[in-house]
Amino acid sequence: MEARKRKGRAALSLFLAGVLLLLSGCAGSGSRQPQGDPSKQQSFTSFGAGETIRILSGSENRELENVLKKCAEETKINIEISYQGSVDIMRDLEAGAEEYDAVWPASSLWISMGDQQHLVKHTESVSNTPVVFGIRKSLAQELGFVGQEVSVKDILAAIQEGKMSFCMTSATQSNSGASAYVGFLYALLGKEDAITLADLESSQLQQDMTRLLSGIERSSGSSEWLMDMFLEGDYDAMVNYECLVISTNQKLESEGKEPLYVVYPYDGLSIADSPLGYVDHGEKGKEEAFLKVQEYLLSDSVQNEIQRTGRRTGYAGVKEENKDIFKSEWGIDTERILSTITMPSSEVLTQALNLYQSKLRKPSLTVYCLDFSGSMIGEGNDQLVQAMAQVLLQENAEKNFLQAGERDVNLVITFDNGVIHTYEAKDASPQSLASLYKAVEEERPGGGTDIYLPAIEALREMRENYDLTQYTPAVILMTDGKSNGNMDFGDFQDFYLQEQMDVPVFSIMFGQAQESQLDELADLTNARVFDGREDLIGAFRSVKGYN
């Protein structure tokens, strides 16, 4: 590991969720409370007294919040929903999901693989949506994809010829990314029966998959946020749920912009079946309340309302009255029979995901800018060190499929009112990353706070030393206070726009951090802010899933 020390003004002359293996219901008024980031929770309170149902859900169900509000009103049941990533949903199920009364992930795989205690029952699919490519329509026409059957290998050819790139969620953090990845595996192998461990060892498969994933321009840990990011950026395509591509197109057209054209890879199509299941903690009243909510969501009128959001409620066709939502000019084919791939065994899925994370995905270039100002002395510093242990110490990172890939690059910039040190891991080996963690552990807080200086320094490190087209780059900035140094947002903005870099600056808010300052950085760089005030470790884990 190299340590390059820079301080004060001298620094001014020089800086993005199996899972198919891994990636709402009824809870009473008892003492069980959902854990995690409170900002992820929504509460829909009925007009009458009744049971409370707490649902652990994937982020894609945010689009059904109006449906849930009506459900709470009509059933007189209080509904609370907490949105989490795929790994967290699986982990909660493995631990018994004590804080929740129901689960509503994007795919049944999350329930079948996470519910090791067999607590989930009454599982029913609320809707389904295929995982598709949404490609700028003019580009889809140029590539010859409009009105044609398209294979994954056709898309790979376009990527290799430099004609297309795309955005996709992480296969180890998000159901849409995992579904797409497994579909890619089947297509590149040319298989219809289940994938085996021997198949994954194929050098040709690994070479083709590496080339395909090299086309990823931006990554995300959330399907919903991927849509928001796409709308704010200038990208060729994204892999996402058909329903979210429909939402994207509605917003694009309302702004007078070019829509996306939907492409269904015929040799690797995956489907999210949106199962809603009851988590049985032995409370009869809650089970009855859950069944009322589920019955409401599965009723004909509500199913029709759900279909109006762009989700399918069957595996063939949509109602005539809803075809205006599923526009054929967007490439959406409502007559297509949705036949999905056969999912491999849990053992094969685990190996496939580990292979993705450690070897096949586009390498990440991550610069951690860590606040070591005086206000971090004590508990703040302790929590920061513990959080970094979860992403840098590989025995911890592997538990959440966040282990470093063979070609990843990791740097740490420590700062107060100036840049203190810049540390770089020599490589992505566990030993080198452990040394990087040791440097963080040994750093001591003191001084004021300047968040803009280390962020500029991080971007400068990237620009001067790396070919960013070969990486998924990101700056991860963690701070616990208001920036009051010599630099301000205007200085950062001028640098960022002058350099014309498309590098997200993700922020983790802690302590008394000034949220408005972090929001400005996120808005400018098409990134987001994570709330680490209640769970700093969880925030670091979440943000690492975005690159």
Q: Per-residue pLDDT tens for 222-279?
A: 888 999 999 999 999 999 999 999 999 999 999 999 999 999 999 888 888 999 999 9
> Between 174 and 452, whose confidence is greater?
452
Instruction: Report the relative pairing of strands 419-424 and 409-415 from DSSP bridges.
Output: antiparallel
* Helix/strand/coil for 228: helix
The answer, yes or no, to whether residue 16 has pLDDT greater than 50, is no
Segments making up each domain of the chain, as ranges? 2-15+361-544, 38-128+273-311, 129-272
Is there a shared CATH topology between the 38-128+273-311 domain and the 129-272 domain? yes
> Are 281 and 129 in contact, with CB atoms under 8 Å apart?
no
Q: Identity (one letter) of the amino acid at 537?
A: I
pLDDT in tens, 301-338: 999 999 999 999 976 678 889 999 999 999 999 887 66
Residue 33 has pLDDT above 70, yes or no: no
At residue 530, the pLDDT reads 94
Q: What are phi and psi of 341, to 5 degrees?
A: -75, 160
Mean pLDDT of 451-458: 97
pLDDT at residue 135 tops 80:
yes
The pair of three-digit structure tokens given for residue 478, joined into one six-digit string:
């963690």
Least confident segment among 172-181, 362-371, 450-459: 172-181
| 377-432 residue pLDDT tens | 999 999 999 999 999 999 999 988 899 999 999 999 999 999 999 999 999 999 99
Contact in structure between 182 and 233 (CB atoms under 8 Å): no
**Model's pTM, two decimal places?**
0.85
Output DSSP code: residue 172: T
Pick the range with the lowest mean pLDDT from 7-21, 104-118, 457-471. 7-21
Confidence band (pLDDT; 50, 70, 90) for 32? very low
Mean pLDDT of the chain: 88
pLDDT, residue 193, reads 87
Architecture of domain 2-15+361-544: 3-Layer(aba) Sandwich (3.40)
| Per-residue model confidence (pLDDT) at position 41 | 56
Spatial separation of the C-alpha atoms in residues 34 and 30, rounded to whole Å:
12
Q: What is the pLDDT of residue 113?
A: 80
Q: 38-128+273-311 belongs to which homologous superfamily?
A: Periplasmic binding protein-like II (3.40.190.10)
Q: Say what percent of the chain tops pLDDT 90.
A: 73
The listed CATH number (3.40.190.10, 3.40.309.10, 3.30.300.20, 3.30.420.40) that belongs to domain 129-272: 3.40.190.10
Model confidence at 290: pLDDT above 90: yes
Provide mean pLDDT across the span 92-114: 91
* pLDDT at position 400: 85
Residue whose C-alpha is closest to residue 394's, from 363, 349, 427, 367? 427
- pLDDT value of position 330: 97
Cα-based angle 33, 37, 41 (whole degrees, multiple of 5) = 65
* Burial zone of 524 (CB within 10 Å; 0-12 exposed, 13-18 middle, 19+ buried): middle
**Judging by beta carbons within 10 Å of its beta carbon (0-12, 13-18, 19+), is residue 293 exposed, middle or buried?**
buried
